[in-house]
């Protein structure tokens, strides 16, 4: 009987643990505040939802991205509208949570004055949110999602449960087939590694990115010596490092995010004297300098940072980088993050759509649908801080550019190497 | 332990009973090493990979992390043995211990390896002493405030307060110190030692020796001292022990002190070995250690140590064979299988013998 008790104890523990990991976000209660006045000349109160991970180890990702949205709203006005932010946080205990993301998305969908959402940051969160935004007909624009299955193929159709042919999710970051190709390009052509050890964090984004890497790396002519995955709460990577020693690959490719533990992995590699083997990762590890608490470079430590490469699934050389960076610094007193400009771009797309559809429409429900339809229309292009952006029939950006970075020991930060446009210059 | 092997005496007339345990341990270790050896180099062509040294490294990895799990598991099992409470706050005690040592070492100004052996030894003793005493006291306070008032309440009630305490501890660190990873100073230098055929890093050797030492000390304390006897008798029958003059309250408090101090030591090891800590490691570490305690036979201190090492070995084996993504599944599958065929765990219950 004792073990029945132990079992019951475990169950209770699990239930309580999941129930108590509740939200730190404060969903807006002012659902009715954005009333449609109808009269000419009166301003209409509308909101942009921001759905990003804002706390804990995710703060280096979410906060600069949300700042990009705030910067755009402060600089661009739409006559007749007073636009504010409904801020949501999908980090639970400092880590992005798909469940929390879905809850936040429902809260945003239930706030009639929210016409557009910027977010989420993580692909598995998007997976949980797309069915919600699709059912509500609320357009969301992700600045950073890269997993292929979110927009393409049957998997994406299954996510758009309610209206399979209605796009309510677009993204300005390109997909992991391209980002994977970018990491493979770095591995094969920049780090000159002909064999790779590929590791993913068993999450939607990480696994997809590693798959994209494998496909492109083989096209380049590289050999994948071994592929493995680590559950995302692992802290002991020493056994992986030992295996690595026997493989002695030219490079390690990591598909995953920093909060899954790659910094620890790199630190343990350095401890066993293996940090001479380069490591390449995607935008999941491109999360700030060594001085940023909890970033990849911060956790891996000085020895681990050496020979590290990363990518970002967006244009680095934006049309006017100095202006954007100066404006950002003036407002937030810090450098923009990897996805600040994409966050800004999402907001620009919304504002442009709102300008185009708003004349004569005052009903919030109609505005929401009109904005959605305008953004999703593949014939429209938008002038953004990233340059001209349009979306294809799946909601994917027409820009297929990946930016490459390498760790720079003098600044202790990522240094831009180059960017590659995979439309103009595909992997052959 | 004694009851478990009594039956086998007659069947093995040649072997003296007291040799069974050491022989079993040696066989298990050799078997584990063989498994590591066979799994190593599975993806690399023969000749390019030194199977022996790979297997050896993995073996040491498993012993190190298994020792850490075992240290935490001991606290679970001791508390369960004496008051039949699954102390879910125990994983958080381990986590807090890692933060105590992090705070101490960073405040003393250490950031990297200490090369002076005397200074290193002094700092290590200080770190372990402070963390173990602080966490031991925290454990006693938790028992006094959250469990003692509920000692005669239905069993689910203290379980809920235990979960409550674990959230309180987690949130104290989350709000008060850091909501993400912090880098803990790795003060032990990291040379590769060559002891005959054995190649081992100093930190691994240190952790293994430390955990074995603490376990031996605990074993001697429980079995050879009068306080240990009081603990055992309280576990077997609290009322009878009280009639015989054992102070129940102080004995239970002592159990919490020792269990929590061991978790505090594991916390220091976390910082020294991994160089990182975080407010959430208590959940994962606690779950693994709890599994270890159940696997070995909850209430049984030897079982908890054995269970901890087994879990370390399973995890490392999974990644040795290239199935790292299945490591957690492998751990819990083993737990299920053991409980199906041996519901009392591998070594059975020892301290608590009430049905």
Residues A90 and A188 both lie in one domain: no
B155 touches chain A (CB under 8 A): yes
Q: Is residue B200 part of a domain?
A: yes
pLDDT at A393: 93
Q: Is residue A45 part of a domain?
A: yes
For residue B172, is pLDDT > 90?
A: yes
pTM metric for this prediction: 0.82
Residues A169 and A233 both lie in one domain: no
B191 touches chain A (CB under 8 A): no
Domain that includes residue B118, residue range: 67-182+195-282
- Minimum-distance CB partner of B322 among A5, A226, A259: A226
Residues A417 and A268 both lie in one domain: yes
pLDDT tens-digit profile of B38-82?
888 766 554 567 888 888 999 999 999 999 999 999 999 999 989
- Work out the average pLDDT over B107-112: 92
- Percentage of residues in chain B with pLDDT exceeding 90? 62
- Record: contact B178-A293, CB cut-off 8 A: yes
pLDDT tens-digit profile of B44-56?
554 567 888 888 9
Tell me chain B's radius of gyration from C-alpha atoms: 21
Residues A181 and A292 both lie in one domain: yes
Beta strand segments in A256-367, E: 279-281, 308-312
Mutation site, B32, B88, B175, B180, interface A, largest A CB count within 10 A: B180
Q: Is residue B236 part of a domain?
A: yes
Tell me which chain A residues have a C-beta less than 8 angstroms from the C-beta of B203.
Answer: 271
Of A239-253, A383-397, B15-29, B129-143, the one with minimum mean pLDDT is B15-29
Residues A119 and A182 both lie in one domain: no
Q: Is residue A160 part of a domain?
A: yes
Residues A279 and A414 both lie in one domain: yes
B46 touches chain A (CB under 8 A): no
Tell me which chain B residues have a C-beta less than 8 angstroms from the C-beta of A272.
Answer: 201
Q: Is residue A184 part of a domain?
A: yes
How is residue A187 annotated by DSSP? I
Closest CA to A95 of A331, A247, A258: A258
DSSP 3-state of A50: strand
Q: Which residue has the tokens 């599994």?
A: B291
Q: Which residue has the tokens 């209430």?
A: B299
Which residues, in sequence order, are CB contacts of B150 under 8 Å at separation 6+? B157, B158, B161
Q: What is the distance in angstroms between the Cα of A267 and the nearest Cα belonging to chain B?
A: 8
The structure tokens listed for B250 are 């102080």
pLDDT at A217: 96
Residues A66 and A162 both lie in one domain: yes
- Record: contact A57-B355, CB cut-off 8 A: no
Closest CA to A382 of A170, A221, A202: A170
Q: What is the distance in angstroms between the Cα of A27 and the nearest Cα belonging to chain B?
A: 21
Band the pLDDT of B299: cuts 50, 70, 90.
confident
B106 touches chain A (CB under 8 A): no
Q: Is residue B241 part of a domain?
A: yes
pLDDT at A59: 84
- Minimum-distance CB partner of B180 among A9, A56, A272: A56
Tell me which chain B residues have a C-beta less than 8 angstroms from the C-beta of A234.
Answer: 327
Tell me which chain B residues have a C-beta less than 8 angstroms from the C-beta of A55.
Answer: 179
Residues A56 and A77 both lie in one domain: yes
Q: Is residue A288 part of a domain?
A: yes
- Whole-angstrom Cα distance, residue B65 to residue A239? 10
Residues A164 and A182 both lie in one domain: no
Nearest CA in chain A to B344: A3
Residues A49 and A146 both lie in one domain: yes
pLDDT tens-digit profile of B253-268?
999 999 999 999 999 9
Closest CA to B338 of B303, B302, B296, B304: B296
More confident residue, A39 or B145: B145
How far apart, in Å, are the Cα atoms of B84 and each of A6, A108, A264, A375, B227? 10, 46, 36, 61, 19
Q: With beta carbons less than 8 A apart as the criterion, state whether B218 and B301 touch.
A: yes
For chain B, how many structural domains are there in total?
1
The structure tokens listed for A322 are 């100095």
pLDDT at A234: 84
- Record: contact A226-B315, CB cut-off 8 A: no
For chain A, how many structural domains are there in total?
2
How far apart, in Å, are the Cα atoms of A289 and each of A409, A412, A414, B270? 11, 6, 7, 25
Band the pLDDT of B148: cuts 50, 70, 90.
very high
Domain that includes residue A415, residue range: 176-312+402-421
For residue B5, is pLDDT > 70?
A: no
Tell me which chain A residues have a C-beta less than 8 angstroms from the C-beta of B286.
Answer: none
Q: Is residue A8 part of a domain?
A: no
pLDDT at A31: 38
pLDDT tens-digit profile of B268-279?
999 999 999 999
pLDDT tens-digit profile of B325-338?
888 899 999 989 98
pLDDT at A12: 44
- Record: contact B64-A298, CB cut-off 8 A: no
| Mean of all residue pLDDT scores within chain B | 88
CB atoms within 10 A of CB B26: 10
- Record: contact A236-B201, CB cut-off 8 A: no
Mutation site, B53, B95, B154, B179, interface A, largest A CB count within 10 A: B179
Residues A144 and A48 both lie in one domain: yes
pLDDT at B47: 54
- Record: contact B316-A239, CB cut-off 8 A: yes
Q: With beta carbons less than 8 A apart as the criterion, state whether B54 and A242 touch.
A: yes
- Work out the average pLDDT over B344-352: 71
Q: Is residue A216 part of a domain?
A: yes
pLDDT at A21: 40
Q: Is residue B222 part of a domain?
A: yes
CATH of the domain at A242: 3.40.50.2300
- Whole-angstrom Cα distance, residue B332 to residue B350? 23
Q: Is residue A427 part of a domain?
A: no
Residues A181 and A127 both lie in one domain: no
- Record: contact B180-A243, CB cut-off 8 A: no
Residue numbers in chain A where pLDDT is lower than 70:
1-41
Nearest CA in chain A to B163: A13
Q: Is residue B50 part of a domain?
A: no
B201 touches chain A (CB under 8 A): yes
B159 touches chain A (CB under 8 A): yes
Q: Is residue A34 part of a domain?
A: no
pLDDT at B294: 92
pLDDT tens-digit profile of B226-255?
999 999 999 989 999 999 999 999 999 999
Closest CA to A253 of A245, A242, A262: A262
Q: Is residue B344 part of a domain?
A: no
């Amino acid at each position: 009987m004792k073990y029945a008790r132990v079992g019951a104890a475990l169950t209770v523990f699990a239930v309580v643990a999941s129930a108590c990991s509740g939200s730190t976000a404060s969903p807006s209660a002012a659902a009715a505040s954005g009333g449609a006045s109808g009269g000419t000349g009166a301003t209409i109160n509308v909101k942009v939802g921001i759905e990003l991970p804002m706390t804990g180890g995710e703060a280096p990702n979410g906060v600069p991205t949300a700042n990009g949205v705030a910067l755009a709203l402060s600089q661009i006005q739409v006559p007749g509208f007073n636009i504010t932010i409904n801020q949501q946080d999908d980090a639970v205990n400092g880590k992005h949570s798909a469940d929390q993301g879905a809850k936040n998305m429902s809260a945003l969908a239930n706030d009639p004055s929210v016409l557009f959402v910027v977010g989420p940051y993580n692909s598995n969160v998007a997976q949980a949110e797309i069915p919600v935004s699709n059912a509500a007909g609320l357009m969301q624009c992700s600045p950073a999602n890269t997993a292929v299955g979110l927009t393409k193929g049957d998997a994406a159709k299954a996510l758009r449960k309610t209206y399979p042919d209605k796009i309510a999710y677009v993204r300005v970051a390109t997909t992991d087939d391209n980002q994977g190709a970018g990491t493979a390009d770095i591995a094969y052509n920049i780090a000159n590694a002909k064999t790779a050890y590929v590791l993913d964090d068993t999450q939607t984004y990480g696994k997809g990115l590693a798959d994209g890497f494998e496909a492109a790396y083989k096209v380049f002519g590289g050999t994948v010596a071994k592929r493995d995955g680590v559950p995302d709460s692992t802290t002991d990577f020493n056994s992986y490092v030992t295996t690595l020693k026997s493989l002695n690959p030219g490079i390690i490719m990591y598909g995953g995010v920093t909060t899954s533990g790659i910094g620890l992995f790199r630190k343990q590699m350095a401890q066993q004297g293996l940090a001479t083997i380069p490591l390449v990762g995607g935008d999941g590890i491109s999360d700030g300098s060594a001085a940023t608490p909890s970033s990849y470079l911060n956790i891996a430590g000085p020895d681990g940072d050496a020979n590290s490469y990363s990518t970002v699934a967006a244009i680095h050389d934006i049309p006017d980088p100095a202006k954007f960076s100066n404006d950002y610094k003036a407002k937030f007193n810090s450098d923009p993050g990897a996805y600040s400009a994409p966050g800004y771009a999402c907001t620009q797309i919304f504002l442009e759509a709102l300008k185009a559809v708003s004349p004569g429409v005052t009903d919030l429900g109609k505005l929401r649908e009109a904005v959605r339809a305008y953004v999703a229309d593949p014939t429209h292009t938008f002038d953004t801080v990233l340059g001209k952006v349009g979306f294809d029939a799946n909601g994917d950006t027409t820009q297929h550019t990946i930016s490459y970075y390498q760790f720079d020991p003098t600044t202790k930060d990522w240094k831009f190497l180059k960017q590659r446009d995979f439309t103009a210059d595909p992997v052959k | 332990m004694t009851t478990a092997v009594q039956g086998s005496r007659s069947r093995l007339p040649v072997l003296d009973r007291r040799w069974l345990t050491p022989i079993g341990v040696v066989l298990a270790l050799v078997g584990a090493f063989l498994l590591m050896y066979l799994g190593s180099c599975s993806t690399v062509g023969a000749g390019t990979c030194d199977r022996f040294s790979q297997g050896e490294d993995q073996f040491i990895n498993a012993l190190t992390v298994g020792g850490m799990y075992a240290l935490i598991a001991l606290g679970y099992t001791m508390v369960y043995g004496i008051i039949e409470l699954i102390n879910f706050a125990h994983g958080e005690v381990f986590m807090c211990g890692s933060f105590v040592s992090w705070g101490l070492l960073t405040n003393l100004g250490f950031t990297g390896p200490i090369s002076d052996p005397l200074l290193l030894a002094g700092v290590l003793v200080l770190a372990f002493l402070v963390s173990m005493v602080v966490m031991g006291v925290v454990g006693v306070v938790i028992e006094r405030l959250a469990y003692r008032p509920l000692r005669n309440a239905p069993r689910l009630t203290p379980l809920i307060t235990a979960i409550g305490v674990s959230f309180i501890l987690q949130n104290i660190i989350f709000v008060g110190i850091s909501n993400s990873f912090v880098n803990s100073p790795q003060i032990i230098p990291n040379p590769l030692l060559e002891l005959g055929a054995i190649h081992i890093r100093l930190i691994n050797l240190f952790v293994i020796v430390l955990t074995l030492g603490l376990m031996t000390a605990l074993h001697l304390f429980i079995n050879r001292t009068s306080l240990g006897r009081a603990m055992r008798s309280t576990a077997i029958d609290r009322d009878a022990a009280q009639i015989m003059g054992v102070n129940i309250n102080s004995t239970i408090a002592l159990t919490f002190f020792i269990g929590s101090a061991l978790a505090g030591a594991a916390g220091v090891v976390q910082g020294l070995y991994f160089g990182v800590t975080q407010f959430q490691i208590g959940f994962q570490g606690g779950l693994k250690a709890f599994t270890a305690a159940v696997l070995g036979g909850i209430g049984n201190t030897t079982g908890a140590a054995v269970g901890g090492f087994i879990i370390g070995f399973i995890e490392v084996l999974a990644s040795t064979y290239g199935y790292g993504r299945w490591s957690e599944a492998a751990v819990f599958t083993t737990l299920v299988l053991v409980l199906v065929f041996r519901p009392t765990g591998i070594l059975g219950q020892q301290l608590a013998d009430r049905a």
